[in-house]
Structure 1
């Protein structure tokens, strides 16, 4: 399993940004093998982490036509700065038990 970590300093995110982000998230999950996507923004800092079964899916997603348009919009205004890291997950575990009150 792989994760793509996207960190950015937010720039001018116009009305197209939210619609495109939602559309692309759904597309990545429905057609490109993305298994989960989590994002958060605090002030002008944004982080998004997506999870993928293999690197081939990530490469295919990077070349998807609408995603390429979004990448260009990100470079020309939506983000002042961004960084993308692709990492291989060597180990993952979670506490899947129910929370209990003390």
Structure 2
């Protein structure tokens, strides 16, 4: 039973393309479409994508955002380290009192 299902599954694409009893005008074309040209470059732009002043502004904003994230991550890491230090100090004090 499993072999029959696998055999029929392999033939599904050829069966789907066969006209079954009707010749309607809404049949799918056999050609799926043309491929995009590989070696053809896009046309040159008429105007620059970004002027130098706008580019410098965006770069500055990205650098500022990176620094904010780095400082926030460092603050979180220090908070975790301080929590670990407090836990270690409490554990040492508990062991000393035993």
- Bigger relative contact order (CA 8 A; separation at least 6): 1
Q: TM-score, normalised to structure 1's length?
A: 0.18
Q: TM-score, normalised to structure 2's length?
A: 0.19
Higher strand residue share? 1
Q: Which has the larger radius of gyration?
A: 2
